[in-house]
Structure 1
Amino acid sequence: MITIHLKYEIDVDKLADFEEYGRRWVRLVNRFGGTHHGYFLPSEGDSDIAYALFSFPGFAAYERYRTDSQTDPECQAAFDLARETRCIKRYERRFLRPLDTPGSDTSGSGTPGL
């Protein structure tokens, strides 16, 4: 399993646009075979930082999603929303893997460590 961590710097005056962008991608990632763990919006502290986490069974599945999303009309509409509203100033992408510990579920079907 591979988990993608996105850190966004957002325009706080366009939070509603970013929320719509996030709602679209949660549905789209799930449609493409991933598991979206959600968008996490500013509450306390930095008001212009948001996060998203989603997983795919492996890097090959993630690469298929990236390739297929480039030609999917709904994905293009989500990209266009961010571009047109400029709700995202910049973002960083990281790839994570779960820690494999005795007794933990690293298959992605449960919540390890809780």
Structure 2
Amino acid sequence: MSNAPVTCEVRYRLDPDRIEDFKAYAKIWIKLIERHGGRHHGYFIPRERPTGIGISFPGVGEDGAGDIAIALFTFPDDEAYLTYREKVANDPDGIEANARFGKQPPFLGYERVFLQPLPTRD
């Protein structure tokens, strides 16, 4: 098991008809993650890009899809993340959230990526 922080990005494909449900889902999971030892960095939903902003690397970059939301959270280490997973499964609010959103999630799909920071100082 690693002692390095566990940072997770979850990228959701939104259902445009269920944005309010997604906001309710996000609010519950922020509370659950923080209750069980994590630091939630927030949920981010699409917005219009600022006027007059172009792509920094034309021909390589492009604007992303307008139906993607991102959540980002961190646990101190693998053990803390695994403990959270165990505790949230037995937490009354976690059980309620899974019952409410489990069969009909307020998103069309998601992908999860575990991340580590790059050193920024020599």
Q: TM-score, normalised by structure 2?
A: 0.76
CA distance in 2, matches of 1:84, 1:48: 21
Where structure 2 has 5 or more consecutive residues not aligned to the other structure, the ranges are 49-63
User: Would you say 1:15 and 2:19 are equivalent positions?
Assistant: yes
In structure 2, the residue matched to 1:36 is 40
Aligned to 1:107: none
> Which has the greater radius of gyration?
2
SS class of match (2:120): coil
- Offset, 1:46: 2.7
Identity among equivalent pairs (%): 42
| Moved beyond 4 Å, runs of 4+ | none
Q: Which runs of 5+ in 1 are unaligned?
A: 104-114
Name the amino acid aligned to 2:40.
Answer: H
- CA-CA distance at 1:83 after TM superposition: 2.7
Aligned-residue Cα RMSD (Å) equals 1.6
TM-score (norm 1): 0.81
Whether 1:2 aligns to 2:21 is: no
Kindly indicate whether the alpha-carbon contact (under 8 Å) linking 1:12 and 1:47 is maintained by their aligned counterparts in 2. no
Is this contact kept in 2: 1:40–1:50, CA < 8 A?
yes
Shift of 1:84: 5.0
- 1:55-80 C-alpha deviation (Å, 9 max, x unpaired): 00011111111111112110122222
- 1:24 is aligned with what amino acid? I
Q: Which moved more, 1:45-54 or 1:81-90?
A: 81-90
